[in-house]
Amino acid sequence: MGLVLTRAALIEASGRLRAAGRRVVLTNGVFDLLHVGHLRYLQAARALGDSLIVGINDDASVRGNKGPRRPIVPAEERAELVAGLASVDYVTIFGEATAVELVRAIQPDIYVKGGDYAAPGAGAGKPLPETEAVLAAGGRIEIIPLVPGVASSDLIARVLARYEATSG
């Protein structure tokens, strides 16, 4: 089971991991309504290195990125759930709109994002704001394909559709 740490404690922990020669993998996201897509994504990310660190967007940054109705689950609970997964070593909550500052602080060997983002030089997907910070720290970027149909927004839509169908 992983630990939920402050950024300062996480920086210290990641330094110890690197000093021990461990390959540090970092990813981040909202992880609202944890689902099988999240599980498979985090397992694949962990398989790329020796330790997996996950940054969780705080509630304010989620509202800024996804709108006023999100997140469904508060950041502290999302962090605890993600930390409880076997593939995750450390979790931290961050408040910035992107993970650029987290990447600069941790300097991962490998930075992982889902298939809705584009790898550097690739055409498909959203541009990855953390690219420059990852490459400046000597890291590499890995894009992991998404599991179709299991995004949190898909689950929310499915629940609402079923509720509306039974309440009318």
The reported pLDDT for the residue numbered 55 is: 98
Please check the confidence at residue 121 and state whether its pLDDT lies above 80. no
Chain mean position to CA 107: 15
Specify the pLDDT at position 154: 84
Residue with tokens 């079923």: 162
pLDDT cut 90: percent of the chain above it:
75
pTM, two decimal places: 0.92
Confidence (pLDDT) at 168: 61
First to last CA, the chain: 43
Distance CA 132, CA 83 (A): 27
Q: What is the pLDDT of residues 6-60, one digit of tens each?
A: 999 999 999 999 999 999 999 999 999 899 999 999 999 999 999 999 999 999 9
In the CATH scheme, what architecture does the domain 3-167 have?
A: 3-Layer(aba) Sandwich (3.40)
What is the model's pLDDT at position 123? 65
> Domain locations in the chain?
3-167
- Compute the distance between CA of residue 50 and CA of residue 54 in angstroms, rounded to an integer: 13
- pLDDT, residue 116, reads 84
**Backbone angles phi and psi of 53, in degrees to 5:** -110, 135
Q: Measured between alpha carbons, how far is residue 50 from residues 45, 66, 109, 114, 163 in Å?
A: 10, 32, 10, 19, 43
Report the distance separating Cα 79 and Cα 58, nearest Å. 9
Residue 72's pLDDT is: 94
At residue 103's C-alpha, the angle toward residues 100 and 26, to 5°, is 125
Cβ atoms within 10 Å, residue 68:
7
